[in-house]
């Protein structure tokens, strides 16, 4: 068994001082642990984040090294720095343990360790507190606003495509009408010009065709100008509608983005305020955790308590034994429920399970070598009050059974009642010599004594108790007092 050394606090000699400050010392201890807990969280967060650790998801292989580094930082700063070296220097000062040069040297080194570790503890805690709110105090454009910007651009693109398609249709219609009007008036002009050349000898008719040509060209020009004016008007109206629709979309989405960004800014301002005011609180609780160490050591000194180092046996927790015990407990509980459910009136354990429990019971009642030759409980419980030969032996020779002092023992021994088959077999084997006129015979592995006539027979089934059907029927008739009717069932 491995030996370990442990600090043990002696009883208080000054009871009045102990009773006066005991409650305050307990509260101060809790405050100190709370301060260390808060400081440990901030230190873990800083080291974990600096090592590229992520919280969502947290249980991934990439977080293994950051988690180890974070826990190592908490152990170094909070346990070694505060609960080891700080306790040593405070205890040495409170008890005035400066009797030798070595104590002064160790005191100086402990002070150096305390300054290094506790200073790093405070600095890492402040950095961890700042890093905890860093991602919240610098947020302006969130994923939601980015998504709204994308939706706004998509809507504007749809409106632009819609009005571009309308503009194309209007221009195509204008070109078609212009071409039709041009062809129409050009045909009239060409026809008049042809007719004018046919009457070139008649000046009056020639001049009449010339007037018609000029009138047609003037009418063509007016029609084309009207079509161009109509096109320009439709295009202006279309552009106005497009601008109106685009501005409406931009106004709607910009308002939603402004609302979200306003909420985000307000949230960031709130977290900035939390960060600004929780940092002093964190520092205060860290200092209180240090003060609790000083308070505890002064309390121990005032109440007359001293710390002694004792050597103790290291007894590890036998987890496997605990699991096996729980397994047995639940095994019996579920077995009992099943037995009640199917309607049986007692347990019917299998042969393997019975031997296992019997072995455990035998081991339990043999804590020392003086019980090495005693039989197990499972093999002798049924013999009490039922085996006449054994009872007579106990009465005549004043020999008590092997479980005589189990009631006074502080240990809880579990006695397992054997099956009916085991009891019958044991009784037959015990009385086998008497029934065979004192000639004992060692049975083979596949042999058994008949329950009725006590003759040896070779069994073919594991549960066979009789050498033949005649013995089985005879035993039944002797037990029940009735005659077995061998008639055929109707």
Interval 86-128: pLDDT, tens = 999 999 998 888 888 899 999 999 999 999 999 999 999 998 8
Say how many domains are in the chain: 4
Looking at the fold, whether 95 and 186 belong to one and the same domain comes out as no
- Encode 214-238: b = buried (16+ Cβ within 10 Å), e = exposed: eebeeebeebeeebeeebeebeeeb
Gap between the Cα atoms of 97 and 86, Å rounded = 15
Looking at the fold, whether 8 and 134 belong to one and the same domain comes out as yes
In this predicted structure, the answer to whether residue 236 has a pLDDT above a threshold of 50 is yes
Strand partners, 4: 312
> In this predicted model, what pLDDT tens digit does every residue of 125-136 receive, in sequence order?
998 888 887 666
> In this predicted model, what pLDDT tens digit does every residue of 181-216 receive, in sequence order?
899 988 988 888 888 888 878 888 888 888 888 999
Looking at the fold, whether 374 and 487 belong to one and the same domain comes out as no
Other Cβ atoms closer than 10 A to 48? 24
Domain coverage including residue 443: 438-490
Continuous segment of H or E residues that includes residue 339: helix 319-342
In this predicted structure, the answer to whether residue 217 has a pLDDT above a threshold of 50 is yes
* Per-residue confidence band for 465, with pLDDT thresholds at 50, 70 and 90: confident
In this predicted structure, the answer to whether residue 427 has a pLDDT above a threshold of 80 is no
Q: What is the pTM of this model?
A: 0.44
The pLDDT score that the predictor gives to residue 370 is 45
The pLDDT score that the predictor gives to residue 403 is 39
In this predicted structure, the answer to whether residue 420 has a pLDDT above a threshold of 60 is no
Q: How would DSSP label each residue in 58-95?
A: -SSGGGHHHHHHHHHHHIIIIIIIIIIIIHHHHHHHHH
User: Residue written as tokens 């049975």?
Assistant: 443
39-61 mean pLDDT = 90
> In this predicted model, what pLDDT tens digit does every residue of 317-328 receive, in sequence order?
566 777 877 887
Q: How distant is the alpha carbon of residue 279 from its chain centre?
A: 31
In this predicted structure, the answer to whether residue 299 has a pLDDT above a threshold of 80 is yes
Gap between the Cα atoms of 427 and 449, Å rounded = 11
Q: How would DSSP label each residue in 103-129?
A: HHHHHHHHHHHHHHHHHHHHHHHHHHH
Q: Which of 232, 253, 270 is the last residue of a domain?
A: 270
Q: Which of 392, 415, 437 is the last residue of a domain?
A: 437
Looking at the fold, whether 114 and 128 belong to one and the same domain comes out as yes
Gap between the Cα atoms of 466 and 448, Å rounded = 9
Q: How distant is the alpha carbon of residue 447 from its chain centre?
A: 58
Provide the 3-class DSSP secondary structure of residue 309.
Answer: strand
Looking at the fold, whether 128 and 185 belong to one and the same domain comes out as no
Looking at the fold, whether 137 and 284 belong to one and the same domain comes out as yes
The pLDDT score that the predictor gives to residue 414 is 42
Looking at the fold, whether 159 and 219 belong to one and the same domain comes out as yes
Looking at the fold, whether 175 and 215 belong to one and the same domain comes out as yes
Backbone angles phi, psi at 316, to 5 degrees: -70, 155
Looking at the fold, whether 160 and 209 belong to one and the same domain comes out as yes
Q: Among residues of the chain, what percentage have pLDDT more than 90?
A: 26
Looking at the fold, whether 266 and 277 belong to one and the same domain comes out as no
Looking at the fold, whether 389 and 379 belong to one and the same domain comes out as yes
The pLDDT score that the predictor gives to residue 48 is 92
Q: Among 33-47, 248-262, 336-350, where is mean pLDDT lowest?
A: 336-350
Looking at the fold, whether 159 and 239 belong to one and the same domain comes out as yes
Decide if 261 contacts 145 (C-beta within 8 A). Answer: yes
Decide if 275 contacts 130 (C-beta within 8 A). Answer: yes
Which residue stretches of 376-419 are H helix? 388-397
Gap between the Cα atoms of 315 and 309, Å rounded = 18
> In this predicted model, what pLDDT tens digit does every residue of 135-178 receive, in sequence order?
665 555 555 666 777 888 888 899 899 999 999 999 999 999 99
Continuous segment of H or E residues that includes residue 8: strand 3-9
In this predicted structure, the answer to whether residue 487 has a pLDDT above a threshold of 80 is no
Q: Which of 260, 294, 316 is the last residue of a domain?
A: 316
């Amino acid at each position: 068994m491995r030996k370990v050394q442990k600090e043990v606090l002696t009883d208080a000699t000054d009871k009045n001082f102990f009773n006066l400050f005991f409650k305050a010392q307990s509260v101060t201890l809790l405050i100190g642990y709370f301060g260390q807990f808060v400081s440990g969280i901030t230190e873990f967060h800083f080291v974990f984040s600096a090592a590229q650790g992520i919280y969502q998801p947290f249980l991934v292989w990439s977080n293994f090294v950051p988690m180890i580094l974070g826990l190592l930082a908490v152990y170094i700063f909070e346990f070694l720095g505060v609960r080891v070296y700080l306790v040593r220097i405070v205890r040495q000062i409170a008890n005035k343990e400066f009797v030798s040069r070595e104590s002064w040297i160790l005191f100086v080194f402990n002070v150096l360790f305390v300054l290094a570790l506790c200073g790093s503890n405070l600095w890492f805690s402040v950095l961890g507190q700042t890093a905890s709110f860093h991602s919240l105090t610098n947020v302006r454009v969130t994923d939601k606003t980015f998504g709204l910007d994308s939706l706004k651009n998509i809507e504007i693109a749809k409106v632009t495509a819609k009005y571009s398609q309308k503009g194309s249709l209007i221009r195509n219609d204008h070109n078609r009408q212009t071409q039709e009007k041009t062809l129409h008036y050009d045909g009239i002009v060409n026809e008049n010009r042809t007719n004018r050349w046919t009457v070139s000898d008649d000046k009056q008719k020639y001049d009449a065709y010339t007037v018609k040509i000029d009138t047609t060209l003037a009418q063509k020009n007016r029609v084309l100008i009207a079509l161009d004016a109509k096109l320009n008007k439709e295009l202006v109206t279309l552009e106005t509608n497009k601008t109106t629709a685009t501005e409406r979309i931009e106004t709607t989405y910009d308002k939603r983005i402004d609302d979200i960004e306003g909420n985000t800014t307000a949230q960031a301002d709130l977290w900035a305020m939390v960060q600004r005011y929780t940092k002093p609180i964190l520092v205060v609780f860290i200092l209180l955790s240090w003060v609790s160490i000083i308070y505890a050591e002064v309390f121990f000194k005032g109440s007359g308590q001293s710390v002694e180092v004792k050597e103790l046996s290291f007894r590890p927790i036998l987890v496997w034994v605990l699991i096996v015990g729980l397994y047995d407990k639940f095994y019996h509980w579920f077995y009992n429920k099943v037995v009640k459910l199917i309607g049986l009136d007692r347990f019917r354990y299998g042969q393997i399970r019975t031997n296992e429990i019997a072995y455990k019971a035998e081991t339990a009642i043999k804590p020392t070598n003086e019980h090495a030759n005693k039989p197990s409980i499972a093999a002798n419980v049924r013999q009490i009050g039922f085996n006449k030969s054994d009872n007579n032996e106990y009465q005549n020779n004043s020999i008590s059974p092997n479980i005589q002092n189990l009631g006074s023992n502080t240990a809880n021994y579990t006695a397992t009642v054997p099956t009916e088959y085991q009891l019958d077999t044991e009784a037959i084997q015990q009385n086998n010599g008497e029934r065979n006129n004192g000639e004992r015979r060692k049975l083979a592995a596949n042999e058994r004594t008949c329950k009725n006539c006590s003759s040896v027979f070779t069994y073919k089934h594991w549960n066979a108790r009789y050498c033949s059907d005649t013995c089985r029927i005879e035993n039944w008739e002797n037990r029940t007092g009735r005659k077995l009717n061998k008639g055929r069932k109707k």
